[in-house]
Amino acid sequence: MAAPEREERGERADRPALLFYCQHSVGLGHLVRSMILAGGLAERFRVVFLNGGRMPAQLEAPPGVELVQLPPLGHDSDYALVSRDPRWTVDEAKRERRRTILDLFEELRPSVVVVELFPFGRKKFGFELLPLLELARSAPWAPLVVCSLRDILVGRREQSSHDLRASELTNRFFDAVLVHADPRFARLEESFRPSTLLRVPVRYTGFVRDGSRPRAGGRRPARRMLVSAGGGMVGEPLFRAAVGAQPALEADGIATRIVAGPFLPEAAWRWLQDEAERRPGLEVERYVPDLAGEMAASLVTVSQCGYNTTMDILGARTAAVVVPFADGGEDEQSTRARRLERLGVLGVVDAAELDASSLLAAVHQALRLRPSKLDLDLEGRANTARIVAELAAQRTAEVVEAAGTRETVAR
């Protein structure tokens, strides 16, 4: 069995250590947002980033962030855990991941532990996260433990019991919850209503977007429809609808460009390539390094409505249509999409109604409208780093004061 991979990109041994855990399962949204946050935190901390899902070859850790790749796990269509690396069975991966995480905590002795989503999600990863949190709570140096949350949580069939468990675990193990949203757009209590209330502070950071590299925007938009679906794992229905709508758009002088994503299944990718070879005006690519810039340089964009895609849409300010992912009863993207639709930012096609004609009608409608500009806090990257640094400094002062009190009593 292969050992977990570790990539060191400029260790910050002179700075307080911060351990950042992220597990993505279907799309890339959790990973991309967490990487952006880690890059901001690396300006103040030595950041070691634990990645529990597949790492796309095109995605690199930000400067100053040390990446530890765990044996990758994910979910299948029935939401059962599966190994994403044939070198590991699920049980082998679970054992190795837990050992690696706990050993790394002891080695690093982090001042801060950031856990993305859990316990508000990722229940299946409690096998490694609960031992980590127990260790952090018993550590003599008392690290700050923070939960990192997106704007809207997914609805559950057993919502009451889920929320109760999440609230109890948060109160037991965490010192703060950071919600990466502008509270004028979304508040935690709108999608989280436990019978046992949270006792830890909830801080809103503003939305998180990547402002670290120059955008391709600023040039005259090309007459094209840009279609994307995040990592692409569940993007095939959207791509098929876009290919179906392509001839009508081509007749109007609008080209179609599809960015498939690194996780689109190979059979679907081959089909897209075949379609592009025989259709004038259809271009397909696996990946582009600056999707937001390409959105800004397009006449209209079509995508799902994940958190990071939404940030790209808001930054691009071009005509947009979204088809929110809704498999398995997931409602997070639909909730976000409908709020943005009411604010005049984009058009929405429900996944159950998606076909070439419904997509084409929505695109034509979007092209007739001028997207509204929203006054939202988009500085979540910088705000998160500042808040965590403030909380960590406060924790350090508390630990020093407590140590002084114990020493005085001992005398």
pLDDT of 80 reads 87
Across the chain, what does the average pLDDT equal? 91
What DSSP line would sit under 167-220, residue for residue? HHHHHHH-SEEEE-S-TTT--GGGT---SS---S-EEE-------SS--STTSP
Q: Please tell me if the domain spanning 5-207+379-410 has the same topology as the one spanning 222-368.
A: yes
Phi, psi of 21 (to 5 degrees): -105, 130
Confidence at 30, pLDDT banded by 50, 70, 90? very high
Averaged over 182-206, what is the pLDDT? 95
* Residues 288-310: tens digit of each pLDDT: 988 999 999 999 999 999 999 99
**pLDDT at position 66 over 90:** yes
d(CA 411, CA 404): 11
Which structure tokens are listed for 364? Answer: 């034509």
d(CA 247, CA 242): 10
Q: Which residues pair with 114 in a beta bridge?
A: 20, 146
pLDDT of 381 reads 97
Q: Is the peptide bond before 119 cis (omega within 30 degrees of 0)?
A: yes
**pLDDT at position 216 over 60:** no
pLDDT of 214 reads 43
What DSSP line would sit under 269-332, residue for residue? HHHHHHHHHHSTTEEEES--S-HHHHHHTEEEEEE---HHHHHHHHHH-SEEEE----GGG--H
pTM of structure: 0.89
Could you tell me which of 323, 389, 391, 324 has the C-alpha nearest to residue 361?
323
d(CA 119, CA 279): 47
pLDDT of 11 reads 47
Averaged over 101-128, what is the pLDDT? 97
* Residues 360-386: tens digit of each pLDDT: 999 999 999 888 888 899 999 999 999
d(CA 148, CA 263): 24
Give the DSSP H or E segment for 255.
strand 255-259
pLDDT of 362 reads 97
**pLDDT at position 180 over 80:** yes
Could you tell me which of 48, 29, 110 has the C-alpha nearest to residue 306?
29
pLDDT of 243 reads 98
Averaged over 84-113, what is the pLDDT? 97
Q: Which residue has the tokens 């679907």?
A: 268
Q: Does domain 5-207+379-410 have CATH number 3.40.50.11380?
A: yes
Of the candidate ranges 110-114, 249-253, 270-274, 399-403, the one whose mean pLDDT is the lowest: 399-403
Q: Which CATH number fits domain 222-368: 3.40.630.40, 3.40.50.2000, 3.30.70.580, 1.25.40.20?
A: 3.40.50.2000
Q: What is the DSSP letter of 406?
A: H
Phi, psi of 177 (to 5 degrees): -120, 125
pLDDT of 2 reads 56
The percent of residues in the chain predicted with pLDDT above 90, rounded, is: 76
CB-based contacts of 101, cutoff 8 Å, min separation 6: 21, 50, 70, 128, 131, 132
Give the DSSP H or E segment for 93.
helix 90-108
Per-domain boundaries in the chain: 5-207+379-410, 222-368
Helix runs in 2-87, H state only: 29-41
Averaged over 176-185, what is the pLDDT? 97
d(CA 307, CA 59): 18
d(CA 88, CA 86): 5
pLDDT of 326 reads 86
Q: What is the DSSP letter of 352?
A: G
pLDDT of 156 reads 81
* Residues 333-367: tens digit of each pLDDT: 999 999 999 999 999 999 999 999 999 999 999 99
d(CA 240, CA 220): 28
Averaged over 132-159, what is the pLDDT? 94
CB-based contacts of 148, cutoff 8 Å, min separation 6: 34, 37, 114, 115, 116, 117, 178, 180, 384
Confidence at 7, pLDDT banded by 50, 70, 90? low
pLDDT of 404 reads 62
